[in-house]
Amino acid sequence: MGNRKIGGLGIEIKHLYKIFGPDGADYIKLVEDGLTKAELNSRYGHILGLRDINISMPAGGIQVIMGLSGSGKSTLIRHINRLIDPTSGEVLIGSEDVVKMDSKQLREFRRHRTAMVFQKFALLPHRTVVENALYGLEIQGAPRTRQVDCAMRWIERVGLKGFERKYPNQLSGGMQQRVGLARALANDAPILLMDEAFSALDPLIRMDMQTVLLDLQKEIKKTIVFITHDLDEALRLGDRIAILRDGEVVQQGTGQEIVMTPANEYIASFVREVNRARVLKIETIALGPRTAASVPRVSVPVGATLEEAARVMTRAGETEIAVVDPDRQTIGTVTLERVLASMVDGVEMKTALRGTG
């Protein structure tokens, strides 16, 4: 295997419904016609888990599924590797529908194309770090030398070199989750499913694990589906975010889109307390490039936050700044007034941006 880099596989979820109960399929039409979750439960004794989920997850990106307890996010991720069977709908991995796989195909799919990182670590207590990390490869029947080499490589990559002979009860929570991540990565699968993977960790350790994941993703470029109830975590990790409520997708898009244009009051209540200065990227509010002669002399790169841009302008004594791409080409300009206007909330922000645009 060496140091082979693994790309992801795209995931397409189409018209996915899950109704828990013995006769779930009998109630699809009623749910399609508007029967609510509460009505389905009170009248028919069935539970609506997911309603008409449609999400396109691009290959090699981090797709965050966010929602409060009971929103359906964990139910959704378990449909991707079919730990839960849908009532109806499609889960397309590349061109294959997981829903239509027979037991042998599904077993091979789970072994070779998906890996999962759990909230509660799910380590085997009688196995050392290295034995836990190679467990998936052992199940696959890989040669022992490859199992150990691959496990040791990922143990080092997640920062646990020197701990490979320790047992889980000798490690902190953060270290145990690093083992779980190493085990998932050692599987060499193109899809990584992470169900509230960092939720059990203390805040500082949680941020550290987020950094580890983001750094690794630059190399491995897997398709990662990450479940969380925390908006700050979603915004930091997600290339795209889908927010669920009562089994339905309320809004999906980039973090920038969700923060700047919440779809309704429910989403607005999530994003109201977000520190926009540290979340919004400067290119989100940049105006089109002007003539070369009028481009500001001071610049910031694409990806800089509003806070970083404001700091650069303040230090340089400038009221306008250029936004440049990795080739140092100017893609737009932003005034300090526009940066400050973008830090305010909701309707105020839209009004302010119109006034400065």
pLDDT tens by residue, 19-57: 999 999 999 999 999 999 999 999 999 999 999 999 999
Q: Which of the two residues, 346 and 334, has the higher pLDDT score?
A: 334
211-to-69, 206, 236, 287 alpha-carbon distances in Å: 25, 9, 9, 31
Residue 34: exposed, middle, or buried by beta-carbon count in 10 A (0-12, 13-18, 19+)?
exposed
Among positive and negative, which fits the CA dihedral 157, 160, 165, 168?
Answer: negative
pTM score: 0.86
- Would you place residue 288 in the very low, low, confident or very high pLDDT band (cuts 50, 70, 90)? confident
Q: Which domains does the chain have, with CATH numbers?
A: 11-113+189-271 (3.40.50.300), 276-356 (3.90.1280.20)
Share of the chain above pLDDT 90, in %: 70
pLDDT digits (tens, 9 = 90+) for 106-140: 999 998 899 988 877 789 999 999 999 999 889 88
Helices 144-157, 173-186: inter-axial angle, 10-degree rounding: 130
Question: Which whole number is the average pLDDT over 177-203?
Answer: 90
Position with higher pLDDT, 289 vs 327: 327
pLDDT in tens, 96-106: 999 999 999 99
Tokens representing residue 255 in the block: 């973090």
244 CB-near residues (< 8 Å, 6+ apart): 65, 66, 67, 71, 72, 73, 76, 250
Residue with tokens 């830090």: 343
Residues 253-278 have pLDDT tens digits of 999 999 989 999 999 988 888 888 88
pLDDT computed for residue 290 by the predictor: 66
Rounded to whole angstroms, the Cα distance separating 228 from 334 reads 33
Q: What is the arithmetic mean of pLDDT over 213-219? A: 92
Percentage of the chain surpassing pLDDT 70?
A: 93
Q: Are 222 and 7 within 8 A, CB to CB?
A: yes
Q: How confident is the model at residue 245 (pLDDT cuts 50, 70, 90)?
A: very high
Our measurement of the distance from residue 83's CA atom to the centroid of its chain's CA atoms, rounded to an integer in Å, reads 19
